[in-house]
């Protein structure tokens, strides 16, 4: 029953996490586009009111005219929309999902003895430390260098080095799929912390000063903008880390830390292309195609590098029956998919149940090689080949 309830928690939290993440990323991408697409106002009244940029757009059958004020509007509206629950909901649901998926069963998902053998409490504490320490170091870098000459370039370089160090450490301490997800969660934590500790407090200070008739310090807007820009460059690397769990050829590679860094670098470069293309359309900068080219070249390089080696020659009979795969299932699979522990609500400990899940077994064990998790039960290539031939033989169960 516990496994069944955990599966439901995993499903519902994942669903919620995707929904709120779409809302957060969508609003983030929209405002980056909006800032890059604003043009000086044409209306004299807008200029007098302090509007620095405007955009005319059409969507869903209606015309929209958003404007941005250089400082503050002449009068604050009664209803002011704040963008922060999208961020908080994404982090809270993501952390809850991390809790039920990895921290609840660390010996299964978090720890791989072939990578680093340690206790469950130590692994859990270290995983949580990744989230906290990365934020503290990243925040210190931003506060120290963010407002200096060429501060953005310095911060970007040091944060890249920090991510590389974290990727190397995570992949040498945790199971591959957990390491990739943990690095993504680490960066996502910094993104949400940017909203919680810098962007929203700065905006609240500005609003409070306006209501009290005090002069507004522009530093709050500058700092908030800086952290918001960081968040948009973090987005694609984080999304890859979250999706990587479905593609074992990335996290199971011998040099998986380099794979992770390469994919994140490609994502950030491609995001830079999309950020700058709006300015190019208005003649503000050169065409940003080199950034897209760098990202695509990085991806192509990874595709070539990760190409599978020639499969070992494994001899199996032309026809494989249930009797030949039964001992493999009993030894390698039934401990997690038997009566005692029905992981993912799947049982394979009887001929009928194995036949019912034959397609999934073939997909997970032979095609994607996601199972067994971290190959904890030591399934061999010969055994995978036998399961493959059994499935091609019609998955007989008698």
Q: What is the CA radius of gyration of the chain?
A: 26
Rounded distance, CA 2 to CA 100, Å? 11
| 343 secondary structure, DSSP code | G
Tokens matching residue 111: 């720890």
Shared-domain flag, residues 353 and 241:
no
Residue 311 lies in a domain: no
Shared-domain flag, residues 91 and 179:
yes
* 19-53 confidence digits (pLDDT tens): 999 999 999 999 999 999 999 999 999 999 999 99
Tokens matching residue 161: 């080095």
Give yes or no for a contact between 289 and 273, defined as CB atoms under 8 angstroms apart.
Answer: yes
Shared-domain flag, residues 301 and 328:
no
Shared-domain flag, residues 329 and 276:
no
Instruction: Report, as an integer, the average pLDDT of 259-273.
Output: 97
Q: Which of 244, 273, 305 is the last residue of a domain?
A: 305
Domain count of the fold of the chain:
2
Categorise residue 394: left if φ over 0, alpha if ψ from -120 to 50, beta otherwise: left
Alpha helical stretches, state H, 102-212: 120-145, 151-171, 176-194, 200-212
Residues 6+ apart with CB under 8 A from 264: 163, 167, 236, 237, 240, 241
Categorise residue 345: left if φ over 0, alpha if ψ from -120 to 50, beta otherwise: left
Tokens matching residue 19: 């929904």
Residue 312 lies in a domain: no
Residue 314 lies in a domain: no
Shared-domain flag, residues 268 and 350:
no
Residue 398 lies in a domain: no
Q: Domain range for residue 374?
A: 322-392
Predicted structure pTM score: 0.85
Shared-domain flag, residues 379 and 249:
no
Alpha helical stretches, state H, the chain: 2-37, 44-48, 85-98, 120-145, 151-171, 176-194, 200-212, 219-243, 248-251, 256-281, 289-305, 322-332, 351-356, 358-361, 381-392
* 136-158 confidence digits (pLDDT tens): 999 999 999 988 888 899 999 99
Shared-domain flag, residues 258 and 116:
yes
* 82-98 confidence digits (pLDDT tens): 999 999 999 999 999 99
Which 3 state secondary structure label does DSSP give 277? Answer: helix
143, 187, 220, 357 from 198: Cα distances, Å: 11, 16, 8, 50
Residue 358 lies in a domain: yes
Shared-domain flag, residues 253 and 357:
no
DSSP secondary structure of 211-238:
HHTPPPPTHHHHHHHHHHHHHHHHHHHH
Residue 213 lies in a domain: yes
Q: Which of 305, 337, 370 is the last residue of a domain?
A: 305
Residue 313 lies in a domain: no
Is residue 384 very low, low, confident or very high in pLDDT (cuts 50, 70, 90)?
confident
Shared-domain flag, residues 284 and 373:
no
Q: What angle do CA 230, 31, 98 make, to 5 degrees?
A: 55
* 311-363 confidence digits (pLDDT tens): 677 787 878 888 888 888 888 887 778 766 667 677 887 888 888 888 888 88
To the nearest whole number, what is the mean pLDDT of the chain?
A: 90
Containing H/E element for 53?
strand 51-54
Shared-domain flag, residues 251 and 349:
no
Q: Which of 256, 280, 305 is the last residue of a domain?
A: 305
């Amino acid at each position: 029953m516990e496994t069944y309830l955990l599966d439901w928690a995993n499903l519902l939290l994942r669903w919620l996490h995707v929904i709120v993440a779409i809302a957060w990323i969508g609003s983030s991408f929209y405002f980056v586009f909006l800032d890059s697409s604003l043009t000086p106002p044409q209306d004299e009244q807008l200029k007098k009111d302090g509007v620095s940029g405007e955009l005319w757009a059409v969507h869903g059958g209606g015309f929209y005219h958003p404007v941005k004020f250089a400082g503050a509007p002449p009068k604050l509206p009664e209803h002011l929309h704040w963008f922060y629950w999208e961020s908080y909901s994404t982090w809270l649901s993501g952390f809850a999902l991390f809790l039920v998926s990895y921290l609840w069963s660390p010996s299964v998902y978090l720890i791989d003895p072939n990578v680093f053998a340690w206790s469950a409490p130590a692994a859990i504490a270290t995983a949580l430390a990744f989230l906290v320490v990365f934020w503290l170091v990243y925040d210190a870098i931003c506060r120290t260098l963010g407002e200096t000459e060429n501060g953005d370039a310095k911060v970007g370089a040091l944060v890249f080095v920090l991510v590389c160090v974290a990727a190397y450490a995570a992949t040498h301490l945790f199971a591959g799929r957990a390491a990739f997800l943990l690095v993504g969660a680490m960066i996502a934590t910094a993104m949400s912390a940017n909203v919680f500790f810098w962007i929203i407090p700065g905006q609240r200070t500005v609003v409070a000063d306006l209501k009290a008739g005090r002069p507004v310090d522009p530093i709050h807007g500058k700092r908030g903008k800086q952290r918001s820009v960081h968040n948009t460059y973090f987005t694609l690397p984080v999304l890859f880390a979250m999706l990587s769990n479905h593609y074992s050829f990335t996290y199971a590679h011998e040099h998986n830390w380099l794979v992770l860094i390469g994919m994140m670098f490609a994502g950030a470069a491609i995001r830079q292309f999309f950020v700058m293309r709006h300015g190019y359309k208005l003649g503000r900068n050169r065409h940003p195609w080199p950034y897209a080219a760098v990202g695509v070249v990085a991806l192509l390089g990874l595709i070539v590098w990760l190409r599978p080696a020639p499969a070992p020659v494994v001899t199996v009979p032309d026809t494989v029956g249930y009797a030949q795969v039964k001992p493999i299932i009993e030894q390698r699979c039934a401990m997690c998919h038997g009566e005692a522990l029905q992981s993912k609500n799947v049982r394979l400990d009887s001929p009928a149940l194995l036949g019912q899940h034959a397609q999934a077994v073939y997909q997970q064990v032979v095609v994607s090689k996601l199972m067994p998790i971290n190959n904890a039960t030591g399934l061999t290539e010969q055994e995978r080949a036998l399961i493959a031939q059994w499935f091609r033989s019609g998955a007989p169960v008698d």
